[in-house]
Structure 1
Amino acid sequence: MTTVRCYVPLGADELARLHTDRRLSGPRPGYAVTGPVREADTSGDQEEWEYAALQEAARAVRDGGSPVVVAAVDLTADQVDATAPDGARVQVGDVDLPRVAALHLGDDVVTGDPAALQDQDEELELSWYDTTEIAHVVELARACAPVPDDAPDAD
């Protein structure tokens, strides 16, 4: 069966749930090489299109105000709904940890400094982590996750 590489944005809590439960239920947003991605760069190749989809996923996380964590997931084609893509955005089904090929973290997560992503015009610098490092990635993501407004004071 054909597999599709999808880039799935994850919040710190979702990442922790993927680590402990080894699964995230779908449907959920993902990003993949779609017709519009290919049309935006007709001279590109698969690697360039994948990079564009990964960048779009990372920007979506950043623009949502969360630490930038994106899982690269290999899903079967029937788990990806790309019938009406919005750029690289698609809908994906369940994400099982064994299907996650890698984790990509923004400089905000790696450095613990949310200001590392201030320049909205530049491509996001992403660091690659193997899934065997997921416990460490969970710690990094939690350390830079925003504190909810309704959280009790730490006094």
Structure 2
Amino acid sequence: ERDGERFSFEIYTNAGNEIREQYVAVMQEQWREIGVECTPQTEEWNAFLDRITGTGDFEIALLGFSWGVDPHQETMWGTDGGFNMNGYSNPEIDDLLAQGLETTDQDERREIYTEMQNIILEDVPNVILDFPQGIYGVNQRCHNIFPNDVYFTVNAHEWWVDES
């Protein structure tokens, strides 16, 4: 409470996602323990997506996001990115994103995107709660599969299958 006004907010997530609904329930309890009123709101996916990418009518949203094999993440971090729901804008990030698209040298791209990620970690435009872990099975005929801690398909462009 500040100046007689209780600190409260709503947190949105998509209905039917049990893990996210559990996260929101835990957050609500933790906020309640320090005197903050956190009200969970769940919506079906399309309404939720419209809220966070269209109307922007939310204070906090909980959702998941995964990337493909290319490290370019303009949709999330670019000033005009379609999934830049919180309006994050950093001209240095926009410049690095452009540089990442201009070169085909993978070592140079790695340096560009590493620098970009370090800036984003300093700016904290989003709070990353977790990276879900999984167990994957791969047929012995499949080769050159090296998943990393973030996603399984990190080097999918290098995979190959023994036809024999």
Higher relative contact order (CA 8 A, sep 6+): 1
State TM-score, norm by structure 1.
Answer: 0.24
TM-score normalised by the chain length of structure 2? 0.23
Bigger Rg over Cα:
2
